[in-house]
């Protein structure tokens, strides 16, 4: 059913939310260049006993149901969609991707962003704290993270309006207000919680796949000038909260089994509550494109902390998780040149601008720039599992903003 080289072979079957010609939202899976309407398959009885979770137009009810239903639905879907002669209802359920509008694939509950690439953290430390240790003393002991704004998580393709804010230039004792002049990206991988937990009961790393439903690409847009001035002492706020983009397809963990790799060595060994004996470290090949120029290829396998460790840390104090919680890996940067996940690093804080094919240069993003982040993972046999992409184009700051 799926054409060659599609990011969405039948071995993938990522979940999303779409609408067709202005009709109500539906949950679907991507297959080749089509989306399969799961409400149609569910109504036809082809998905087994699903209690109408796909009739709602939201992915959250299905995610909340847990691994047993995730597994049975995936098995039925695989059977039905890979069949040599699929039932008539399958043809009815398939709509060309080109005809649909893709929406935010789930309702975001809490959004947390981690900081788990050692190469990224070292680069940021060297840029902002020259002469000091690149990593803060806590970095190798815990996956540092903070809460972001869930209400401004948007789906790929949503235009990004250049944010305004306060910044202070080095030679000015007082701040000014205006459009950010150091607008950046952060290339990340996001993990989506399906099954929640009870307040007071930490979730160990070993329970990762009982709670986490799937994986998205994430671009944590960042206004470096706003962030630098506001962040002491309570961390990033408006430098990040204007928008966070995610890809429209949630790749289920079951599609990523062949992408699992060992976690890089952690020294010192983490405290017992952070040990992760079966980590979901993933061999994802990320790619960042700016106006059609590939500017970086960050390797996700180089991340220091695993998503299971992030989940264990997030809940170690008894904080509960909910269906729809999203946690980002932090900017993915590899050790080599051309593997960094932010312009801050790729241009070394703007001092070494990128040269694009059209002859122009970029220190940070300009109005009209389009950034696209894609990824693929090894799948069963030689079939790569694609993530699609998370895209965004920068619009000028609004004239009403002073």
Which residues participate in catalysis according to the annotation?
120
Residue in 55, 78, 110, 122 binding a second copy, rule: CB under 8 A: 110
CB neighbour list of residue 96: distance below 8 Å, 6 or more residues apart: 33, 34, 35
Residue in 3, 48, 235, 338 binding a second copy, rule: CB under 8 A: 235
Phi, psi for 392 (deg, rounded to 5): -160, 140
Minimum distance between the CB of residue 96 and a second copy, rounded to whole angstroms? 29
CB neighbour list of residue 318: distance below 8 Å, 6 or more residues apart: 199, 200, 201, 202
The answer to the question of residue 230 lying near a second copy (CB under 8 A) is yes
Residue in 66, 87, 202, 350 binding a second copy, rule: CB under 8 A: 202
Residue closer to a second copy, measured from CB, 34 or 162: 162
Report the alpha-carbon distance of residue 337 to residue 358 in Å, rounded.
22
The answer to the question of residue 349 lying near a second copy (CB under 8 A) is no
The answer to the question of residue 238 lying near a second copy (CB under 8 A) is yes
Phi, psi for 61 (deg, rounded to 5): -60, -40
Q: CA 343, 104, 258 angle in degrees (round to 5)? A: 70
CA distances, 175 to each of 115, 167, 224, 228, 236 (Å): 28, 5, 14, 12, 17
Residue in 62, 106, 242, 300 binding a second copy, rule: CB under 8 A: 242
Report the alpha-carbon distance of residue 280 to residue 263 in Å, rounded.
8
Report the alpha-carbon distance of residue 102 to residue 105 in Å, rounded.
8
**Stretch in the footprint of a second copy (CB under 8 A) among 74-82, 137-145, 351-359, 371-379:** 137-145
Interacting residues with a second copy between 44 and 103 (CB under 8 A): none
The answer to the question of residue 152 lying near a second copy (CB under 8 A) is yes
Residue closer to a second copy, measured from CB, 1 or 207: 207
Minimum distance between the CB of residue 222 and a second copy, rounded to whole angstroms? 11
Minimum distance between the CB of residue 129 and a second copy, rounded to whole angstroms? 9
Report the alpha-carbon distance of residue 87 to residue 94 in Å, rounded.
12
Intra-chain end-to-end CA distance of the chain, in Å: 53
Interacting residues with a second copy between 272 and 301 (CB under 8 A): 272-273
The number of angstroms, rounded, from the C-alpha of 193 to the middle of its chain's C-alpha atoms is 12
Minimum distance between the CB of residue 103 and a second copy, rounded to whole angstroms? 15
List, in sequence order, every residue forming a beta bridge with 306; answer none if it has no partner. none
Residue in 99, 201, 335, 367 binding a second copy, rule: CB under 8 A: 201
Neighbour count for residue 389 (Cβ, 10 Å): 20
Residue closer to a second copy, measured from CB, 292 or 318: 318
The answer to the question of residue 231 lying near a second copy (CB under 8 A) is yes
**Chain contacts with a second copy (rule: CB under 8 A):** 109-110, 112, 115, 136-138, 141-142, 144-152, 154, 161, 163-166, 168, 174-177, 199-202, 223, 226, 229-239, 241-243, 268, 271-273, 313-314, 316-322, 325, 398, 400-402
């Amino acid at each position: 059913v799926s054409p060659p080289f599609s990011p969405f072979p039948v071995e993938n079957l990522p979940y999303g939310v779409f609408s067709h010609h202005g009709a109500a939202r539906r949950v679907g899976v991507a297959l080749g260049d089509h989306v399969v309407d799961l409400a149609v398959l569910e109504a036809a009885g082809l998905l087994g006993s699903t209690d109408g979770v796909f009739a709602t137009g939201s992915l959250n009810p299905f995610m909340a149901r847990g691994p047993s239903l995730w597994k049975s639905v995936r098995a039925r879907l695989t059977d039905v969609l890979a069949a040599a002669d699929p039932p008539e209802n399958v043809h009815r359920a398939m709509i060309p991707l080109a005809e649909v509008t893709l929406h935010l694939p789930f309702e975001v509950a809490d959004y947390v962003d981690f900081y788990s690439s050692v190469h990224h953290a070292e680069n940021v430390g060297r840029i902002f704290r020259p002469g000091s240790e690149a990593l803060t003393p806590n970095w190798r002991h815990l996956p540092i993270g903070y809460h972001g704004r869930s209400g401004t998580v948007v789906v790929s393709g949503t235009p990004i309006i250049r944010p305004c804010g306060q910044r202070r230039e080095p030679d000015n004792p007082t701040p000014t207000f205006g459009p950010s002049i150091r607008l950046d990206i952060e290339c990340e991988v996001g993990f989506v919680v399906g099954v929640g937990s009870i307040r007071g009961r930490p979730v160990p790393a070993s329970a990762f796949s009982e709670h986490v439903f799937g994986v998205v690409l994430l671009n944590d847009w960042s206004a470096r000038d706003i962030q630098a001035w506001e962040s002491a002492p309570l961390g990033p706020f408006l430098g990040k909260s204007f928008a966070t983009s995610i890809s429209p397809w949630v790749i289920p963990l079951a599609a990523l089994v062949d992408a699992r790799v060992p976690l890089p060595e952690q020294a010192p060994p983490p405290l017992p509550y952070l040990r992760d004996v079966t980590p979901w470290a993933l061999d994802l090949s990320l790619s960042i494109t700016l106006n059609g120029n590939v500017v970086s290829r960050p390797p996700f396998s180089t991340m220091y902390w695993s998503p299971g460790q992030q989940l264990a840390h997030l809940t170690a104090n008894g904080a509960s998780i909910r269906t729809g919680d999203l946690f980002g890996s932090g900017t993915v940067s590899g050790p080599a040149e051309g593997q960094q996940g932010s312009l801050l690093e790729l241009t070394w804080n703007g001092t070494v601008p990128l040269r694009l094919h059209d002859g122009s240069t970029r220190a940070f993003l300009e109005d009209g720039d389009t950034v696209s982040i894609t990824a693929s993972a090894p799948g069963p046999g030689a079939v790569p599992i694609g993530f699609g992409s998370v895209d965004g184009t920068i619009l000028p700051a609004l004239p009403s903003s002073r």
